[in-house]
Amino acid sequence: MHRKPIKHCRACGTAVQYRVPDDGDTKERAVCPSCVTVHYENPLNVVGTVPHWGDKVLLCKRNIEPRWGKWTLPAGFMELGETTAEGAARETVEEAGAQFELQELFSLVNVPVVGQVHLFYRARLTSDQFAPGVETIEARLFAEDEIPWDEIAFQTVKQTLQRYFGDRHAGHYQFHAIDLV
């Protein structure tokens, strides 16, 4: 899911051109031929949680594209003005209607091919009752042997879940930095 190229200048609306700016830059950017604004495009952060209840984790069945009907951890794009932890908590409320205590940062997954960095926090559920939002068909707890591994929406989620259960078996949780290349 590559990002769509910028078409129009955000400052004046003129159609942009992709070229190397004249300021010593070395990369092609969307440059406005009219007002000369350079539109920089940088990676986006996706923030979410690994909500757990006993030996189970909470997954959400997606009611949105891409990957409609596939299972994911609650996660979404970080908003301006919030911290990564606040964003992760917000997404968990929005997508699952879960009640929880946010814990440590668990995984950081670089996905340079789509220009994203995904961050997942562990979250201790304080209730096993959920109220999924409009982006979720169903929110459900899964034990490790119940995880629908072939129906997981994203590699970032799959890798995070694999490490979560690995740590759970090892008896302690640590931080995981992962590069998906």
Interacting residues with Zn ion (CB under 5 A): 9, 11-12, 14, 32, 34-35, 37
Q: How far is the CB of 4 from Zn ion (least distance, A)?
A: 18
Residue 11 vs 113, nearer CB to Zn ion: 11
CA distance 59 to 8: 38
Output the smallest distance, CB 19 to Zn ion, in A.
14
Q: Residue 59: enclosing H or E segment and its boundaries?
A: strand 56-62
34-48: burial string, b at 16+ Cβ within 10 Å, e else: eeeeebeeeeeebbb
Question: From the CB of residue 105, how many other CB atoms can be counted at a distance below 10 Å?
Answer: 16
- The nearer residue to Zn ion, 20 or 35, going by C-beta atoms, is 35
CA-based end-to-end distance of the chain: 14
Q: What's the closest the beta carbon of residue 123 comes to Zn ion, in angstroms?
A: 43
Q: How far apart are CA 68 and CA 103, in angstroms?
A: 28
Phi/psi-derived region of residue 81, left when phi > 0, alpha when psi is between -120 and 50, beta in every other case: left
CA atoms 174, 161, 177, 128: torsion sign: negative
Residue among 12 and 64 whose Cβ is closer to Zn ion: 12
Q: Give whichever of 9 and 119 is closer to Zn ion, judged by the CB atom.
A: 9
For Zn ion, the closer CB: 14 or 127: 14
Shortest Cβ 56–Zn ion spacing (Å): 52
CB of 17 to Zn ion, least distance (A): 11
Could you give phi then psi for residue 101, rounded to 5 degrees?
-110, 125
